[in-house]
Structure 1
Amino acid sequence: MIKLIASDLDGTLLLNKAQTLPEDLFPLIRALNELGIRFVAASGRQYPNMKRLFAPVASDISFICENGALAVEKGQVLYQDRFDKELANEILTAIIEKKDAEFTCSAKDYHYLMPKTESFRHYMVDLVKNECRIINSLDEITEPIMKLAVYESAGLTDEYVRYWTGQFGQRCTVVTSGNDWVDFIPFGTNKAKGIREFQEKYGISPEECIAFGDEYNDIEMLKAVKYGFAMAHSKEKVRESAAFTADRVQDILEKVIRAKGNMEGVI
């Protein structure tokens, strides 16, 4: 019987670069709760942004944020990872020096930004609606850093990913996240870490878990459960890491609810 369902956001629940969740998701989460099935939102996004997106059900679900660097439940931090400050400054400096590259630097309750363009500030503050602090110097970053991310408006290319992996891949995890981002996170930090935190906290086995994802930063999470669903549009390596594929998360959730958590009635 299923006891926990975790889902990525961008490219999984948020399709076609949407910035609001589909309204049909919230009744499904409530129905899962009534069956005793815990729903976990797992994303590279920051906690305040995720809490806003899930506002109708935020008090009833759990959160894995910043690609696994932070786990939160009912406002309580279960764990919070920290990035090495010296390495973080080195990465941020490299992003600042690279033409057209922008960064976000993740603290628990907000992102530090040093926008090179008004369009990036507008995107992060007004469209994505992150809680942000605009800074003029890296010296203004005083909070513990959990994750760094680089964004280029032209979009991700294999060459772009190889560039950042070649620069810092030996010193931290460098992974694509969402549609336009490359994330830098400490070794050992990933969404599977958050999944294991909730599995241990509630005595839930991998055989009692479902996870949905679409990007390389979801691979560990998809492997941490028995019923991993890669989105049908995912890259081949992501699909290979999952036992199943799905076109739409809500379709699988509806089947789980009808089957009352019995996966034999789903697959």
Structure 2
Amino acid sequence: MPIKLIAVDMDGTFLNNQQDYDRRWFQELYPQLQAQGIKFVVASGNQYYQLRSFFPEIASQLAFVAENGAYVVEAEEEVFCGELAAETIQEVLAELANYAEVHTLICGKNSAYVQDGEDPTFIQHASRYYHRLTTVANLRDLPEDTLFKFALSTTVANVEPLIASLSAKFAGRITPVSSGHGDVDLIIPGIHKANGLKRLQAHWQIADEEVAAFGDSGNDLEMLQHAGFSYAMANAQPAVKASAKTIIASNQEQGVLQQIEKILAETNQEHIPS
């Protein structure tokens, strides 16, 4: 089946290690995607407001599966917004207090929140991914908002033990996933990138077999398993490479744009009369 939807993770996938992409090349490819009726979806663990900033000229046209699927927006219209139970939030905060090496954000529709007194290096790191970041006196007492995700930062070596510990403690209530570089997201069970794509597919009447997905980290696994065409970056985590149907060039080599160009060429070839 032809590809009708392309979903790209950002960090480590669409973006290079300098947090950018070949904008001129993409500006050449995007009108071709539009002409072929192929939807372009940004699917990331990052905040919607940060993701928009990468596409200033066309953000109002795009669909975003942000916050690992907890917040889905199409053409600036909200499609879905998840919500963590208040009781779960308090229980998770109590548990995280036992991990001195873990830094914590709570993510909501209006903003992400960090506690006053957090490590300034962590706050600086977080502000790159959360353009709306509010400092509060206590994470247990936040402004009114719809809260849907925890974003944790720890050492790379501590990621797997942390995921195992929190998975055992909160089975069925939160799902810990790796988002690369020592970061771990705690998401609502079943509310992941694939779930966000399904909501957009239903709106656009696009089958799973017509979806192409690109990723590199643990929070991309459901999306890659869901898509008819799945691509792991050369720099992807081993589990991601094992899950994808195809391994392509790295994020540093603009592997996503290379593959989109191939997809467009194949689509154009299909449309040439025999």
Give TM-score scaled by structure 1 length: 0.90
1:60-209 correspondence to structure 2 within 5 Å: 60-114=61-115, 116-125=118-127, 127-128=128-129, 130-137=131-138, 138-152=140-154, 157-209=159-211
Are the equivalent residues in 2 in contact too, given 1:46–1:65 (CA < 8 A)? yes
For residues 22 and 178 of structure 1, the distance between their equivalents in structure 2, rounded to whole angstroms, comes to: 22
For residues 131 and 110 of structure 1, the distance between their equivalents in structure 2, rounded to whole angstroms, comes to: 5
For residues 89 and 32 of structure 1, the distance between their equivalents in structure 2, rounded to whole angstroms, comes to: 44
Q: Which runs of 4+ in 1 moved over 4 A?
A: 153-156, 261-264
Q: CA deviation at 1:85?
A: 1.1
Q: CA deviation at 1:229?
A: 0.7
Letter in 2 for 1:72: V
C-alpha spacing 1:117/1:155, structure 2 compared with 1 (3 Å): farther
> What is the identity percentage for the equivalent residue pairs of Structure 1 and Structure 2?
29
Letter in 1 for 2:21: L
Are the equivalent residues in 2 in contact too, given 1:112–1:132 (CA < 8 A)? yes
- Give deviations 1:1-59, integer Å, cap 9, x for gaps: 2111001111111233x333332334322321122110000000111011112223212
1:48-63 correspondence to structure 2 within 5 Å: 48-63=49-64
1:249 equivalent in structure 2? 256
> How many pairs are equivalent?
263
1:6 paired with 2:36, answer no
Task: Compare 225-234 and 62-71 and name the one that shifted more.
Answer: 225-234
For residues 241 and 14 of structure 1, the distance between their equivalents in structure 2, rounded to whole angstroms, comes to: 21
Q: CA deviation at 1:152?
A: 1.9
Task: Name structure 2 gaps, 5 residues minimum.
Answer: 250-254
C-alpha spacing 1:262/1:169, structure 2 compared with 1 (3 Å): farther
- Give deviations 1:184-226, integer Å, cap 9, x for gaps: 1111111111111111111111221100011111111111111
Task: Compare 109-118 and 194-203 and name the one that shifted more.
Answer: 109-118
RMSD of equivalent CA atoms: 2.3
Letter in 2 for 1:41: V
For residues 270 and 91 of structure 2, the distance between their equivalents in structure 1, rounded to whole angstroms, comes to: 47
